[in-house]
Amino acid sequence: MSKELKKDFIADVALTCFLSTGYGGTSVDDIVRAAGISKGGLYWHFKSKEDIFLYLIKKCIKEYDQELVAPFSEDCPARDKLNKYVEFYLEKVDVSMIALIKEFLMQAKDETILNKLNDLIAGSERFQIIKNVVLEAVHKGEFKPVDVEEASYAFIGMFEGIGMLWSVNQQDKLLLERTAWTALNIYLEGILNK
């Protein structure tokens, strides 16, 4: 097995452990046992449990971003592109990953680790994709002349908040869907050029 495949294998096993017992409830020994490798084998690929978690987040963000690009490559009105974003978001939202990230943030004490996580999340393509949609819509006159960066942060922030609230309340998926579509309609009501 190549080094990258082995690294992915260890990370996938670690994710299974994290999802089963939580980030805090999973030890390196648990991951080693579940993966059927030695501690040295794990430490050959990762420096720590935090390093494994950050690798998982990076991998998830990369996969999410790759799938997100396709719906936005079409030439259609901004409203349609944002509708596609909501559809994509609702298909991909994962309460267990949101919960794991929250748990990680609550337990992480090392500012370097927290900064790495923040950089991974901030480096996601989705912000740039939404920013491009808003910028193009402003130039075409579909949207009011707004600060593109602020409008993009507002859009992403709405959905991050909705996902976070949903993960805390463990409400049904229909409520999440209704809330997401309501949020999009409110956003569009404020930004569309009428």
Domain borders along the chain are 1-46, 50-191
Q: Do 1-46 and 50-191 show the same overall fold?
A: no
Question: Are the C-beta atoms of 114 and 169 separated by less than 8 Å?
Answer: no
Q: Identify which of 30, 111, 119, 130 has the alpha carbon closest to the alpha carbon of residue 71.
A: 130
CA pair distance 92, 89, nearest whole angstrom: 5
Just give the CATH number of 50-191: 1.10.357.10
Give the pTM.
0.79
If one compares 130 and 171, the residue with the highest pLDDT of the two is 130
Reduced to 3 states, what is the DSSP secondary structure of residue 25? coil
Which one-letter DSSP state was computed for residue 23? S
Calculate what percentage of the chain has a pLDDT beyond 90: 54
CA pair distance 55, 145, nearest whole angstrom: 39
User: What is the length of the chain?
Assistant: 194
The two structure tokens encoding residue 60: 């998830």
Is pLDDT at 17 greater than 90 in this prediction?
yes
Burial of 135 (0-12, 13-18, 19+ CB in 10 A): middle
In the prediction, which pLDDT does 171 show? 66
The string of pLDDT tens digits covering residues 143-179 is: 999 999 999 999 999 988 888 888 777 668 888 899 9
In the prediction, which pLDDT does 25 show? 92
Report the first-to-last Cα separation within the chain, whole angstroms. Answer: 58
In the prediction, which pLDDT does 71 show? 72
CATH superfamily of 1-46: Homeodomain-like (1.10.10.60)
